[in-house]
Amino acid sequence: MLVIERHEMIVRLVNEKGSMRVSELSEICNVTEETIRRDLDRLEQAGRLLRSHGGAVSVAEQQPEDPYMEREITRMEEKKRIAQEAIKYIEPRDRIILDASTTAWYMASILPDIPLTVLTNSLKVAMELSTKEKIEVISTGGIMSARSLSFVGPSAERSLDAYHVNKAFLSCKGVHLGRGISESNEMQALVKRKMISIADRVLLLADHSKFGVQAFTYFAELSQIDEIITDDKIDPQYVQQLEEMAVKLTVALA
């Protein structure tokens, strides 16, 4: 990747996410943090972003409203942290699933360019990964859900049948200790259920606000989840209860 390309990528990422840490950019671009810092200095000189300790923030004062992205500003910080923790579980040559959640999209955007096969039903994830040449992206087809820009329906589920992955990173709307994992949309829930069935290991990405919540449809038991990644605002009572239930839990720290 040429210098200019890296600079453009940095600006794009900073603008998309609002902010980026030096460490994230370093991983994504496959250069040392020193290089990223120098880049940020120059980009700040040029007025393309604003430097801050640990990273940089967007200076695009009023980015034109992205019609695709339902503005999920809520829990953005937590989701980014969870995404950052989650990518630590990814190793070269893994075959993984990313679902159509905001957290999975963050994961895609900060995923380093290493040899990897990613199976997804999310248009945004696919789009995001298209620039990383070492990553092979496979999309389920299916009926497009315009709101979430993802593919659902029988054909999406059918196409998943043809694959097997070693890790699946899934999100949800609710985690209830007694009732299990739930989703507000039935179509999405069915796809997630299928995803779980073709994965060796299921990692659930759920920020603290999801605990205790019961959404419309259940798509998995807690026992089907191998590990939950959440943020540090989680109620300690859940931590303890999950421990008692022998569910592995990782807390993504700030």
Q: 33 contacts which partner out of a second copy, DNA, none, CB within 5 to 8 A by kind?
A: DNA
Give the footprint of DNA on residues 113-142 (CB under 7 A). Answer: none
Q: Which of 131, 209, 214, 224 binds a second copy (CB under 8 A)?
A: 131
Q: Which of 12, 38, 134, 158 binds DNA (CB under 7 A)?
A: 38
Report the distance separating Cα 254 and Cα 252, nearest Å.
7
If the CB atoms of residues 43 and 225 are measured against a second copy, the closer one turns out to be 43
Stretch that binds a second copy, among 14-22, 31-39, 89-97, 206-214 (CB under 8 A): 14-22
Examine residue 70 and tell whether it contacts DNA (CB under 7 A): no
DSSP states of 26-72:
HHHHTS-HHHHHHHHHHHHHTTSEEEETTEEEE--TTPPP-SSS---
What DSSP element (H or E) covers 194?
helix 186-197
Examine residue 138 and tell whether it contacts a second copy (CB under 8 A): yes
In whole angstroms, the minimum distance from the beta carbon of 198 to a second copy comes to 14
Examine residue 122 and tell whether it contacts a second copy (CB under 8 A): no
Report the distance separating Cα 185 and Cα 125, nearest Å.
19
What residues contact 46, with CB distance under 8 A and at least 6 apart? Answer: none
Report the distance separating Cα 139 and Cα 160, nearest Å.
9
Q: Which of 87, 90, 144, 239 binds a second copy (CB under 8 A)?
A: 144
In whole angstroms, the minimum distance from the beta carbon of 241 to a second copy comes to 39
Examine residue 46 and tell whether it contacts DNA (CB under 7 A): no
Q: What is the rounded (10 degree) CA torsion for 39, 45, 48, 50?
A: 90
Q: Which of 38, 42, 54, 223 binds a second copy (CB under 8 A)?
A: 54
How many residues at the interface with a second copy, by CB under 8 A? 41
Structure tokens given for 40 = 């940020």
- Using CA of residue 125, residue 230, residue 180, residue 97, what is the dihedral sign? positive
Stretch that binds DNA, among 51-59, 114-122, 143-151, 239-247 (CB under 7 A): 51-59
Examine residue 72 and tell whether it contacts DNA (CB under 7 A): no
Residue 184's CB is within 10 A of a number of other CB atoms, namely: 13
Examine residue 212 and tell whether it contacts DNA (CB under 7 A): no
Give CA separation, 233 vs 155, 208, 209, 247, 254, in Å. Answer: 38, 6, 8, 18, 10
Stretch that binds a second copy, among 30-38, 49-57, 88-96, 98-106 (CB under 8 A): 49-57
Examine residue 22 and tell whether it contacts DNA (CB under 7 A): yes
CA atoms lying within 13 Å on the CB side of residue 55: 19
Interface residues toward a second copy, by CB under 8 A: 1-5, 18-19, 21, 50, 52-57, 67-68, 123, 126-127, 129-131, 133, 136-144, 146, 149, 151, 155-156, 158-159, 162
